[in-house]
Amino acid sequence: MKPRLATRVVGIIFGLLVAAYLILPALAVVPMAFSSGMFLEFPPPGYSMQWIVRFFEDPEWVAALTRSLWVAAATAVVAAPLGTLASYAILTASPRLARINQPLLMLPMMVPVVISGFGLYLVTLLFRVQGGLWLVVLAHIGLALPFVVITVTASLRTFDFRLVRAARVHGATALQTFLKVVVPVIAPGIGAGVLIALMVSLDEAVVALFVAGDYEPTLPVRMFGSITYELNPLVPVAATVLTLSTFLLLGGALLLNTISKRRTGAALKFG
């Protein structure tokens, strides 16, 4: 075997092993969602749809899922435009301002989530506004913004800013240039940011637990409470819903990222 081929084979095997290590624990809950047993046990004694049916017939679990979807949608709707504007401002600002602003926007990724959650909890106590899904949305926007900024910035780094200067020379305002020139080109990157914001919000439990608690629990918070106080067989079903949702959103984000790279490559080739 040639050295280059051997290196490629070893790399593929190593990549598959790492992927299995990361993915298999998440997929282990899926068979338990279809268990025919009356209690949580792995591997399942048999397979049935009983727990999936009970999950969607239980008003508390359905309400928690609905809350999670609503919070995720609201988070993405706000975080995507804010992250896009922040990315554009970073790349068009002076290098000195960019060096200051970019690390500040990345802070939510660096601070442990439990510290962010506890800090927000203290703020809610100070202003006596504890509880409410809108607080969870505000918290999730802060957590999702860095991911949107990273995704959109990656698209903007390959954007030809000569198009902006050309549009301004021909009389377009700054807003018209941004909406009609910049946004259409980087739309796949913005779409990927939206999907990642949805994914971050759907999977987040710690901050939501601190901010909303048991008043209006999201699905991850409801799962945490069920595991803490009882071994509820509906938890694997909820975990399966979140896992499949995350994989779908991640796949969509990767697809949009690929489209963005191809569009940029075609534009560069044309130019």
User: Left if phi > 0, otherwise alpha if psi is -120 to 50, otherwise beta: which for 116?
Assistant: alpha
Q: Which of 80, 64, 54 is nearest to 221 (CA)?
A: 64
Domain CATH code at residue 71: 1.10.3720.10
The total number of structural domains in the chain stands at 1
Q: Is residue 225 part of a domain?
A: yes
Cα Rg, the chain, nearest whole Å? 22
Domain range for residue 78? 59-270
Q: Is residue 10 part of a domain?
A: no
Whether 140 and 200 have beta carbons less than 8 Å apart is answered as: yes
Query: pLDDT 10s per residue in the chain (271 long)?
Result: 566 677 777 778 877 888 777 777 777 778 888 877 777 777 777 888 888 888 888 888 888 889 899 999 999 999 999 988 888 888 777 667 666 666 777 777 777 788 888 888 887 777 777 667 888 888 899 888 888 888 888 888 877 778 888 888 888 787 888 888 888 888 888 888 888 888 888 888 888 888 876 677 888 888 887 777 667 778 888 888 888 888 888 787 777 767 766 655 554 444 4
Virtual torsion, Cα 195, 197, 203, 207, nearest 10 deg: -170
Give dist(CA 123, CA 211) in Å, integer: 10
Residue 270 makes CB contacts below 8 A (sequence gap 6+) with none
Q: Is residue 47 part of a domain?
A: no
Q: Is residue 89 part of a domain?
A: yes
Two tokens, residue 176: 């018209």
Whether 145 and 86 have beta carbons less than 8 Å apart is answered as: yes
Give dist(CA 271, CA 267) in Å, integer: 6
The pTM is what? 0.81
Q: Is residue 216 part of a domain?
A: yes
Q: Is residue 88 part of a domain?
A: yes
Q: Is residue 38 part of a domain?
A: no
Q: Is residue 32 part of a domain?
A: no
